[in-house]
């Protein structure tokens, strides 16, 4: 059975790019916002989450990250931030909150593939 990857981004093009890039090797689950991301984590228990920071709605990517990493049921899930926010403070905060990776848009899909292969051995 393929490992599950949850892609969380409010931009359909980014979700599609990642789904096409990763779909041959992983089962892809997609969510457009933080609320549906948390629901997808609960329902599907993915092995990794690729998570945008800035999204519409009540819950942003950092809140999703915090929720995943502070729950005993989900803290083992690998989370990579995939975001346009490239400031050192954003990077540091995400890592302090438990992010396992940080990719700045525009990102290299190959870097993400390599990160996932490394984390999901």
Residue ranges per domain, the chain? 4-119
Query: CA nearest 35: which of 75, 8, 72?
Result: 8
User: Around Cβ 27, how many Cβ atoms within 10 Å?
Assistant: 15
Please check whether residue 77 is in contact with residue 38, taking contact to mean a CB–CB distance below 8 angstroms. no
Helices (H) and strands (E) in the chain, counts: 5, 5
4-119 is classed CATH 3.40.50.2300? yes
pLDDT tens digit string along 67-112?
999 999 999 999 999 999 889 999 999 999 999 999 999 989 899 9
pTM for this model (two decimals): 0.96
DSSP 3: P
Please check whether residue 19 is in contact with residue 7, taking contact to mean a CB–CB distance below 8 angstroms. yes
> Facing residues of 64 across strands?
none
Please check whether residue 28 is in contact with residue 20, taking contact to mean a CB–CB distance below 8 angstroms. no
pLDDT tens digit string along 10-35?
999 999 999 999 999 999 999 999 99
Please check whether residue 104 is in contact with residue 98, taking contact to mean a CB–CB distance below 8 angstroms. no
Please check whether residue 48 is in contact with residue 78, taking contact to mean a CB–CB distance below 8 angstroms. yes
């Amino acid at each position: 059975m393929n490992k599950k990857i949850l892609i969380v981004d409010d931009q359909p093009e980014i979700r599609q790019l990642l789904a096409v890039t990763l779909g041959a090797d992983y089962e892809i689950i997609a969510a457009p916002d933080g609320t549906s991301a948390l629901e997808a984590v609960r329902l599907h228990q993915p092995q990794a989450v690729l998570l945008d920071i800035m999204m519409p709605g009540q819950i942003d990517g950092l809140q999703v990250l915090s929720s995943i990493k502070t729950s005993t049921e989900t803290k083992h899930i690998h989370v990579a931030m995939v975001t346009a926010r490239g400031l050192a403070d954003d990077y540091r905060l995400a890592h302090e909150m438990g992010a396992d990776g940080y990719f700045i848009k525009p990102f290299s899909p190959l870097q993400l593939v390599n990160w996932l292969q490394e984390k999901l051995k």
